[in-house]
A and B are shown apart, each in its own frame.
Chain A
Amino acid sequence: KQEVTQIPAALSVPEGENLVLNCSFTDSAIYNLQWFRQDPGKGLTSLLLIQSSQREQTSGRLNASLDKSSGRSTLYIAASQPGDSATYLCAVIKGGKLIFGQGTTLQVKP
């Protein structure tokens, strides 16, 4: 059974700091991995999709990496801003469905 774990559960950093969010999964036979952002009480916004054949994807200040052999993905956020405050969820895609971690809640202090 595929399990997805995100550490830490919560993170508080000062504005401008670079940070890394971690995601681990137990079954390396995944197809893709997707990172999402969720603001309180809202839906999910897709940030990055990494296909299983890729090692990383970049979008603006975000960079996501994927290491299937070790069952890990990281989301790197450069020069964090207060507007980055949200919950970040990773999800592995297997069999067409998403299996989510519990998320990391990020607070960026001005």
Chain B
Amino acid sequence: DAGVTQSPTHLIKTRGQQVTLRCSPKSGHDTVSWYQQALGQGPQFIFQYYEEEERQRGNFPDRFSGHQFPNYSSELNVNALLLGDSALYLCASSLNPGTYNEQFFGPGTRLTVL
């Protein structure tokens, strides 16, 4: 049973550039959430996708956008990169956005903005 997968593993960009991160959920899961984890901090919720729509959003600017495909995989896009966007980006999947469901995380994408 394949778990949550993310690509790429590492990414280096310069300020002002745009980046796309990808996530495939655990088999059977239909909900994908994205989190940003700065060094030494707990992950912060960015947004959640279900049925190809953004269902919830955390306190992140519009430079952060996403998409969910019919096969439930998801992309996170960040425009106009800032140095402060350097972080580990984590994708989590669960079964529907119900509040009782365990979330499973992928290995993350390490983004470095120079």
Chain A interface residues toward B at CB < 8 A: 4, 31-32, 34, 36, 41-46, 49, 51, 89, 91, 93-103
Contacts and interface: CB of A to CB of B under 8 A. Distances in A.
Nearest to B92: A98
Interface in B20-67: 31, 33, 35, 40-45, 48, 55-56, 58
Contacts of A43: 4, 6, 90, 105-108
A32 B103 CA distance: 11
B88 A97 contact: no
Given A43-B90, A45-B105, 9 more contacts: A4-B42, A32-B99, A43-B105, A44-B105, A91-B43, A94-B99, A96-B48, A97-B33, A98-B45
5 contacts: A31-B100, A32-B102, A51-B100, A97-B33, A100-B42
Interface in B50-101: 55-56, 58, 88, 90, 92, 94, 97-100
A41 B40 CA distance: 10
A106 to B, nearest CB: 15
Which A-B residue pairs are the 7 nearest by beta carbons?
A: A100-B42, A31-B99, A44-B105, A43-B107, A96-B97, A49-B102, A43-B108
B58 A97 contact: yes
B41 A98 contact: no
Contacts of B42: 4, 89, 91, 100-103
B110 A41 contact: yes
A34 B107 contact: no
B103 A46 contact: yes
Contacts of B106: 43
A95 B94 CA distance: 13
